[in-house]
Structure 1
Amino acid sequence: MSIKVDHVVDAKGLACPMPVVKTKKMMDQIDAGQVLLVEATDRGSLADMKGWAKNTGNQYLGSKEDGDVLFHYLRKSDDADTKEIEEFEPVASNDDVKSKIGESGVTILDVREPAEYTFSRIPGSVSIPMGELEERMDELSKEDDVYVICRTGSRSNMASHTLKEKGFDKVHNVKPGMTEWDGPVESTE
């Protein structure tokens, strides 16, 4: 069975947040009910597409994989059902997080993909990829101040909204994230 696709976005070779940026741009141009196929090679796009669709009110239909390419299928909802993803408040800077490393009652939550986390991470941070957050949030304490970080602040924005919806009241979205992190790092490799 094949899926009828109305529009295709080529996001191959692009890293977060660009697949979502290109998806949003195309979604703004298509009609409600139309299906969009997003072709991507960034593994993080699996969680990004699901999270973006959920947070905007669009419908995530599913994803297929063929070799290194991920094929994400999304359906545009009626304009009355869709919304912009608001910038999560409060926002914490990278410098704010540097001062919190190792502090009691603080969790630095890294929502990047495992490969990203393996090669460069903040010491003591907790890795829960965005796509696993809802199933694994019981690993986090609602009593802690949770600083959510990703590569650019995009995935962490979506993750922060998700945590807030699930009763985490002390959540901070970290921007600009690991792309501009100049604090201490560790790696497994």
Structure 2
Amino acid sequence: MVKANIVLDAKGLTCPMPIVKTKKKMKDLKAGEILEIEATDKGSTADLQAWANSTGHEYLGTESEGEILHHFLRKGGEHSSESTPSIPEVSLEAFKQKVESEESLNILDVRELDEYEEAHIPGVVHIPLGEVEKRSNELNKDAEIYIICHSGRRSEMAAQTMKKQGFKKVINVVPGMRDWTGKTE
């Protein structure tokens, strides 16, 4: 197991809390030091990988011990970026109106497979956050794409990744499926 300078207990927390706590705790570390995040949320692996990638920190890997995931991140140097370009957002209410108007929309759901299978908006494209970077070529870079997750955090990270790949019109749906009351499959 990797030797960490600080251990963060995020067990029992679900998206977006492991990321929120990690971001806060990372400020206590010096460049090069390692943070271990103990989590039980299966989606935390992809979330932390994407967050580290988008902020200039290094994702070192994840080790499992029963139900507990031990994630390891190395703090980036002085050039690591905690601020990233802003992504346009749409409220869940306004987004629901667009969906219900039966307007032709491109919707990307970036939740994990088990979350997606539980319930999703009809007609969405499903690409889990951890696969967005590799699979974004399945999407039209010139189209307006609404990105949704559970709470709005993973979808924001997916939008950041896609923006770096040349997507021009990505829109984050906030807060996400957690509060969705429209039709689902």
Q: State the TM-score bracket (shorter-chain normalisation).
A: over 0.9
Q: Is the 8 A contact 2:85 2:160 kept in 1?
A: no
Are residues 87 and 174 of structure 1, via their aligned partners in 2, closer, same or farther at CA, if it must alter by over 3 Å?
farther
CA distance in 2, matches of 1:85, 1:162: 14
Using the TM superposition, give the Cα deviation of residue 87 of structure 1 relative to its aligned residue in structure 2, in angstroms.
Answer: 6.7
Q: Is the 8 A contact 1:88 1:160 kept in 2?
A: no
Q: Is the 8 A contact 1:152 1:175 kept in 2?
A: yes
Residue in 2 that maps onto 1:155? 154
Using the TM superposition, give the Cα deviation of residue 110 of structure 1 relative to its aligned residue in structure 2, in angstroms.
Answer: 0.6
Q: Is the 8 A contact 2:87 2:160 kept in 1?
A: no
The letter for the 2-side match of 1:143 is D
Using the TM superposition, give the Cα deviation of residue 120 of structure 1 relative to its aligned residue in structure 2, in angstroms.
Answer: 1.5
CA distance in 2, matches of 1:68, 1:26: 23
CA distance in 2, matches of 1:135, 1:88: 22
Residue in 2 that maps onto 1:25? 24
SS at match of 2:140: coil
Residue in 2 that maps onto 1:93? 91
**Gap runs ≥5 in structure 1:** none
Bigger drift between 139-148 and 155-164 goes to 139-148
1:113 aligns with 2:78: no
Residue in 1 that maps onto 2:56? 57
Normalized against structure 2, the TM-score is what? 0.92
SS at match of 1:100: helix
SS at match of 1:99: helix
Normalized against structure 1, the TM-score is what? 0.91
The letter for the 1-side match of 2:34 is V
CA distance in 1, matches of 2:103, 2:165: 24
Q: Is the 8 A contact 1:88 1:173 kept in 2?
A: no
Aligned Cα RMSD in Å? 1.5
CA distance in 1, matches of 2:106, 2:83: 24
CA distance in 2, matches of 1:85, 1:46: 21
